[in-house]
């Protein structure tokens, strides 16, 4: 098990759980967007200072801030 923020770019992983995020609202939004356990997920790009991550999940692409990516546990 590792944090998605520590994962390699372009490689697929599977979500295990979402750790502590700053608010319940954001946790719910992540679930609403399909960040559910067992879901295949991939980091497409990281920004220069690794503050922003481009993530691929469920056939679409979105960006997340590092604090959230840090909370996503994958394997």
Partner 1 sequence: MIQVNLVGNPNTGKTTLFNSLTHSEEHVGNWHGVTVEEKAKLYKYKDNDINIVDLPGIYSLSPLSYEERVATDYIIKHKNQIVVNICDASNLQRNLYLTIGLMELGCPIILVVNQIDKRKICKIDFNGLSKELGIDIVYLNASDKKTLINLNNCILELDKKLKGGYKPEYKLKYINVFLEKYNNILTIFDEKIAEKSQNNYKFSEFLKIKILENDENIKNELNIKTEYSAIEEIATYRYDYIDNLMEKYSTKKNHVYGQSKLDKIFLNKFLALPIFLVFLALSFYLTFFSIGSYLSDWLSYLLDKFISTPLLNFLIANLGENSAVVSLVEDALIGGVGSILTFLPQVALLFFFLSLLEDSGYLSRVAFVFEDVLSKVGLSGKSVYTLLMGFGCSTTAVLTARNMEDKNSKIKTGLLTPYMSCSAKFPIYAVLGGAFFGANNIFVIIGLYILGVVIAILLSYILEKTLLKSKEQSFILEFPPYRMMSLKRTSALLWQNVKQFITRVATLILAMNIVVWLLSNFTIGFHFIGNGNGVSILEMLGKLLSPIFIPLGFNSWGLISALIAGLVAKEVIVSSIAMFNGVEENSISSIQSSVILSTSAVYFASKSSVLSFLVFCLLYFPCIATTSVLIKEIGKKWTFIGVLLEFIIAYLTAFVIYTIARVFEVYGFIKTLLIFLTILVIITAIVYIIKRIKKKKLCAYSDICKKKCKLK
β-strand partners of 73: 3, 17
CA gap 69, 66 in Å, rounded: 5
Residue 49 in contact with partner 1, rule: CB under 8 A? yes
Binding mask of the shown chain, residues 20 to 39, with x at each position contacting partner 1 by CB under 8 A: -xxxxxxxxx-xxxx-xx--
Residue closer to partner 1 (CB basis): 14 or 61 = 61
Question: Of how many residues is the chain composed?
Answer: 75
53 close to 5: Cβ distance less than 8 angstroms: yes
> What are the residues binding partner 1 (CB under 8 A)?
18, 21-29, 31-34, 36-37, 44-49, 51-52, 54, 56, 58-65, 67-68
């Amino acid at each position: 098990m590792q944090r998605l923020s520590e994962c390699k770019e372009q490689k697929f992983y599977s979500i295990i759980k979402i750790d502590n995020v700053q608010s319940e609202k954001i946790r719910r939004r992540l679930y609403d967007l399909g960040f559910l356990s067992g879901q295949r997920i991939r980091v497409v790009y990281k920004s220069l200072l690794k503050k922003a991550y481009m993530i691929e999940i469920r056939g679409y692409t979105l960006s997340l801030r590092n604090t959230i990516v840090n909370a996503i546990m994958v394997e």
